[in-house]
Amino acid sequence: MALFDKTACMSCLTLKELTTLYDIASVISNHYDLETSLEKSMKILKNSLHLTNCSVHLLEEDDILNVFASVELSVIQKKLSCYKLGEGVTGLAAESKEPVVVENIHSDSLFLNKSGKRDLNNLSYVAVPLIIEDETLGVLGATLTKTTEIGFDDCVRILTIVSSIFAQSIYSYLLNKKEKERLKELKLYYKMEWDSKVHNFGDIIGDSPKMKQVFNAIQRIAQSDVTVFVRGETGTGKELVAAAIHKRSKRKDEPFIKLNCAAITDSLLESELFGHEKGAFTDAKETRKGRFELADGGTLFLDEIGDISASAQVKLLRVLQEREFERVGGNKTIKVNVRLIAATNRNLEEMVKHGDFREDLYYRLNVIPIDLPPLRQRGDDIKQLVEFFLEKAIRNHKKRVSITPEAMDILATYPWPGNVRELENTIERIVLMGNETGVTKHDMLLLLPALNDDNLKKEYKTIQLKNKTLDELEKEAIENALINNNLNQEYAATELGLTFEQINKKIKEYGILQ
């Protein structure tokens, strides 16, 4: 009879264990909030098997085990209950990757009880590691009390099964969290708007012969993973070309990461490119990914590549050759799959000749060169760009401004030393300061302060001489003289070799200053 009772009792306990595991599996699979599902699962362990003080510690990057979920610990007790790898029963279970049992928590020094929680009904403690693919994610711990119905072996067995369920859920949670952090980091570094309405080539406007050559080059090389080297003066749109290549590539759904090398000091450039480990330097309070890691799978655009230091050139060359690097202050090799597009407005050939730029890196970068023409060589593209930026500025500032044909001619023949960037800023200034009745030629001259530069005056005048009548040349000479002398007619007359009366008459005749 006694044997029957014992067998019946064991059967009852086995059924209770199976029911416990089933209930925990159901809770884990039906809840999207990991912390809540773990806490509900630990409540099941407490109610079914009388295991108390159940808690899940997660192993952080700094090898510290912090409480992630617990049923009976207060907020303060959770903060106190952190363990280094190998410290106490929790740290030992994480380090050894094996369950650890403390038979008497009141006398065993291995049980540190950092939370300070005391209960004479508590007798023993079991810590079981949470392991995925031989990697420790954390530790599941539970206390056996006087009312606990199972012994050490059964407790270890049950908690090992539960820890496997927990580990899978935590692993999925950490992967999801990592992806969210990656997307968050991308948002900090990367914001790009694709405007399909602008002509037919993204944000790049123009149909001049030289720009058509650029478009053809982009179409031919976009689908490959070859390194591209974009060259051109400042403000010609090198970043837009890089973006257009990325948008048409196989990597279009992956990140497009940008870095202006000239805007970063030498001491920080390597950290920006390759990231850094916590404590790598004074301000490195946490581990940070560099642009190469952020661009993994996608495209990295490095503008002003000619400005990077010699040490950064060496590391960049290694990434291009081996597709791997180490973070600053770290020794772990990180492999990446990144397409590189570099750009510069400097003469790298001269820099190589003088030893300021590595020759081997230059040839690694200069696989497919794309030369962007300056705006002054793009003909009627200027008028297209004026119309586009004018419409954009009017929309942004809610102010309707028109440009007269004579004023448009000045914009079309101005040399634009700052290229497209200068043109965009000029049009915005025209909308903000211009007259809603129409911006005249004279207004336009006042709105182009760069014409006060002597070298630009010569270039501008040279351009203007083409296909001009004598009257047009005389009128423009007077206008330029007035601009040069801040509208002082007497000084302008002296510059032109005229009397005050003569220039005053011409001003009235040509309608200047009206």
**Do 438 and 430 meet the contact criterion of CB atoms below 8 Å apart?**
no
Residue 429: exposure state from Cβ atoms within 10 A (0-12, 13-18, ≥19): middle
CATH of 15-180, one of 3.40.50.1820, 3.30.450.40, 3.40.50.1010, 2.30.40.10: 3.30.450.40
Q: Residues spanned by CATH 3.30.450.40 within the chain?
A: 15-180
Which tokens hold the place of 154?
A: 């059964």
**Do 225 and 338 meet the contact criterion of CB atoms below 8 Å apart?**
no
**Do 427 and 386 meet the contact criterion of CB atoms below 8 Å apart?**
yes
Please tell me the pTM assigned to this model.
0.57
Amino acid letter, 462: T
pLDDT of residue 35: 87
Q: How far apart are CA 454 and CA 408, in angstroms?
A: 22
b/e 2-28 (16+ beta carbons within 10 angstroms → b): eeeeeeeeeeeeeeebeebbebbeebb
Strands 256-260 and 299-303: parallel
Per-residue pLDDT of the chain (514 residues; tens, 9 = 90+): 344 454 544 455 577 788 888 888 888 877 678 888 899 999 998 888 889 999 999 998 788 999 999 988 888 898 889 999 999 999 999 999 999 999 999 888 898 888 888 788 888 999 999 999 889 999 999 999 888 878 888 899 999 999 999 999 888 888 887 777 776 666 555 444 333 333 345 568 888 889 989 999 999 999 999 999 999 999 999 999 999 999 999 998 898 999 999 888 877 888 889 888 877 676 767 778 889 999 999 999 999 999 998 888 998 999 999 999 888 888 888 999 999 999 999 999 999 999 999 999 999 999 999 999 999 899 889 999 999 999 988 888 888 888 888 888 888 888 888 899 999 998 988 888 877 778 887 777 777 765 555 555 555 554 454 556 767 777 878 887 887 777 788 888 888 878 888 888 888 888 886 5
How many of the other CB atoms lie within 10 Å of CB of 360? 13
Q: Which are the contacts of 282, defined by CB distance < 8 A and separation ≥ 6?
A: none
- Return the CATH architecture of domain 379-510: Orthogonal Bundle (1.10)
Q: Is the CATH number of domain 209-373 1.10.150.670? A: no
Q: Residues spanned by CATH 3.40.50.300 within the chain?
A: 209-373
Give which of 449, 462, 378 is closest to 420, Cα–Cα: 378
Provide the residue count of the chain: 514
How many of the other CB atoms lie within 10 Å of CB of 345? 19
Secondary structure (DSSP) of 284-326:
--S-B--HHHHTTTSEEEEESGGG--HHHHHHHHHHHHHSEEE
Q: What share of the chain is helix, strand, coil (3-state, %, to 5)?
A: 50, 15, 35
Q: Residues spanned by CATH 1.10.8.60 within the chain?
A: 379-510
How many of the other CB atoms lie within 10 Å of CB of 164? 14
**Do 402 and 438 meet the contact criterion of CB atoms below 8 Å apart?**
yes
pLDDT of residue 352: 93
